[in-house]
Amino acid sequence: MILNTELEYKGNLFPSKIISYKKNLDTLAFTTDNNVVLHVTVVRDSVLRFRYTTTGIFEKDFSYAITKYASRGYNVLEVTEDEDKYIITTAKLICHISKADTRSSIFDAKDKSLICEDELGFHWEESYEFGGDVVKMTKTSHPSEAYYGLGDKPVDNNLKGKRFENWVTDSYAFTKDTDPIYKAIPFYIGLHSKKAYGVFFDNTFKTNFDFCHERRNITSFWAQGGEMNYYFIYGPDMSEVVANYTDLTGKPHEMPALWTLGYHQCKWSYYPESNVKEIAAKFRKLKIPCDAIYLDIDYMEGFRCFTWDKEYFPDPKKMVKELADDGFKTIVIIDPGIKIDPGYPVFKEGLEKDYFCKRADGPYMKGKVWPGECYFPDFTNPEVREWWSDLFKELVEDIGVKGVWNDMNEPAVMDVPGKTFPDDVRHNYDGNRCSHRKAHNIYGMQMARATYQGLKKFSYPKRPFVITRAAYSGTQRYTSTWTGDNVASWEHLIIANVQAQRMCMSGYSFVGSDIGGFAEQPNGELYARWIQLGVFHPFCRTHSSGDHGDQEPWAFGTNVTDVVRKFIELRYQLLPYLYTAFWRYANEGIPILKSLVLYDQNDPHTHYRNDEFIFGEKILVCPINEPNAKGRRMYIPRGNWYNFWTDEVVEGGQELWVDADFDSMPIFVKEGAIIPKYPVQQYVGEKTIDEVSLDVYYKLGKETSQVFEDAHDGYDYIKGRYSVRIFNLLGVETELYIQQHKSGKYIAPFETFKINLHGLPFKISKITIDKEDFIFDDVKVNDSNSFVVNKDFTEIQMM
């Protein structure tokens, strides 16, 4: 007999009092009398991991986000207790764990100030529909606390007062505040009292974040399944938080080849072959630098991945070589949907080996994408990833394709609710079998990983180049990315700027947008203004939907073409500066772009700025965001800055009007900076570079600049064949000193530096190089305060 047909609805459940504590090396285990277990792991002095289970037993500890190369180890770990709490002390942090309910409070070990504390803390709700728990965490927000991060959210930099969902979604023509979109990066930074910390919620289920939206002084995050598993990362500088998060989830596995930082041209779609060659020839004829041309889905036979349409591209190997001979690298698109076609070898092999995703009851996951009905590889299976990587042999090794662009990998499915797989699809998840609810957010990441492995294998000894649309935390280890299907509008120019800044502060610096907008058609002014912004993004590519019209640099008339050329040439001049910034990112986790709050968190005026950003370490950029503008107001961060165009010095810490006609944009250089520049090239490697310019900006005081050099491709730099030049500048009233310290084995092919002096407050009467006086005529100081020196100088003194 059935006595009760209803399950008991328990609502939110909470840990009760701690009844036991145990230390196992770096992990402290606290058990409550209602069987909740909290593990606090000291990853580093400034990084603590909090992991909870409500059943007394933890699942296998597995993460796609955390890299095996993450730094671990600490200097101090002491655990004490009093009547109310356990006290965990490291060199940087003091963490209190309440004996009554496991709630935590974290303090700065140096000054004992409170950084972050639980409000309700960890709690959960049983999920009767799916099993397991909905896991939740709430923390108290400090007065005037600001929040940043979360990847590609198309909103203002400061997230305070907003609420978000992380569920990787194909969001064609998204708008400001659209949520969710293409990426799930569950990491945020909190900033208050001039101190910053980060929280990384490593849970791949659908997650939500609330920054004082529902309750005014409460920040919370929760997930629809899985564990409450998060890392607390302390700065106190924001840049340290971002660098530590990037270290935890992984820095890029290698430097990019220098050509990948050049200008790229893309369209849906360039075909047939004659059209591709026509586009390439016009770049060279008009002398607009370009390094890569892209082939969208129409290069394939019926949209079947790893095939070529022989009508449009009768001899792809020959075409790719001819493009390469003219400096163009060919990039092709590869989507996850494999057309159901027994005569198609990729489909046939995937079927025979049982590599496609299946529904819960056994049938294959079938969905409509560009080729029609498709099956989808389970990229969470390491055997499938290995198979997928081998499929690139013909494209890369035989035909000569230099890069691959993964699209539609959210995964996107047409004509179904939710535009993706249903929840009941099953995945291998590297041996931790699960449903799509858990695997959805990492599906695109694992496709990009498999693609990267293939490119790395078959591009060798050159470096791989992969781009992905969908991503989860850690995807930056394998690929670059772009912000998805945007729109040709001024609003989207603003969105692109903020998204790139936010991605960089979320550990993912190799990022750009579809310059000019993917959907609809920009006018010439909007396109030119977008190019001006795009050349300062790490990934620089025009891409458009061809059915809206042409979007090449020459499509809008001579005036626009001239402006576009001018800024793309500037991009190519700044390549050694950008490459050095990338080295710092790959080596130290330092973001390539820095929002003003990341650059100077102690200035409260930066906390709500969106438009201005620092490119690398020394260049301040601010795009023009509206039509018919002759300039704009912008905030100049503290310090003195040179106007890039006029050399006028402005004092920072204030908002100013800056002139910027159609052929200009606000760019400033930090005083004391030494900026390396190459001569303009039509593509990377076109010229043998005999001389590198150093633009030296005078400062009364000291400043340090760096230049990283290697062969620009290949892996010799990993064996130590690279060099780092450190330039120390010291300016006094009537003298300027530049000291150079070079380390590393690499010998650059150029022989001389051309020194270009900016803002020198005195006329040079004497120059000493390495303590030897040089006759003025020998050094060739010209009217613009420029002279040429041997690249291996140790010290230059100008009086």
Residue pair 666/565 in contact by the 8 Å Cβ criterion: no
Q: What's the CA gap between 107 and 120, in Å, rounded?
A: 18
Residues 6+ apart with CB under 8 A from 174: 154, 181, 484, 485, 486
Q: What's the CA gap between 389 and 572, in Å, rounded?
A: 32
Q: Which two tokens stand for residue 211?
A: 């920054």
- Name the pairing type of β-strands 767-769 and 701-709: unpaired
CB atoms within 10 A of CB 432: 13
Q: What's the CA gap between 31 and 20, in Å, rounded?
A: 5
- Between the alpha carbon of residue 787 and those of residues 64, 74, 321, 695, 777, the distances in Å are 52, 49, 41, 11, 10
- Between the alpha carbon of residue 473 and those of residues 96, 380, 503, 695, the distances in Å are 28, 15, 11, 37
Q: What is the DSSP secondary structure assignment for residue 328, as one 8-state letter?
A: P
Q: Which two tokens stand for residue 497?
A: 């700027």
Q: What's the CA gap between 104 and 120, in Å, rounded?
A: 10
The helix-helix angle for 382-390 and 436-459 (nearest 10°) equals: 40
Residue pair 706/727 in contact by the 8 Å Cβ criterion: yes
- Name beta bridge partners: 400: none
The DSSP code sequence of 271-309 is -SHHHHHHHHHHHHHHT----EEEE-GGGSSTT-TT---
- Name the pairing type of β-strands 218-223 and 187-192: unpaired
131 burial type by CB count under 10 A (0-12 exposed, 13-18 middle, 19+ buried) = exposed
Q: DSSP alpha helices (H): ranges in 523-557?
A: 524-534
Selected catalytic residue, list 410, 600, 671, 709 = 410
Q: DSSP alpha helices (H): ranges in 57-175?
A: none
Lateral strand order in the sheet of 691-697: 674-677, 691-697, 752-758, 786-790
- 309 a catalytic residue: no
- 485 a catalytic residue: yes
- 407 a catalytic residue: yes
Selected catalytic residue, list 298, 407, 695, 713 = 407
- Between the alpha carbon of residue 53 and those of residues 49, 140, 289, the distances in Å are 14, 22, 56
Residue pair 150/163 in contact by the 8 Å Cβ criterion: no
Q: What's the CA gap between 647 and 660, in Å, rounded?
A: 14
Closest CA to 295 of 318, 264, 321, 261: 264
The helix-helix angle for 524-534 and 490-504 (nearest 10°) equals: 10
Cα torsion 379, 381, 384, 389 to 10°: value is: 60
- Cα 319 from chain centroid (whole Å): 32
Closest CA to 102 of 80, 79, 81, 122: 122
Radius of gyration, alpha carbons of the chain: 27
Angle, alpha carbons 359-360-362 (nearest 5°): 65
Residue pair 472/503 in contact by the 8 Å Cβ criterion: no
Selected catalytic residue, list 485, 569, 703, 710 = 485
- Cα 608 from chain centroid (whole Å): 21
Closest CA to 408 of 377, 383, 387: 377
- Give the residue numbers marked as catalytic: 407, 410, 485
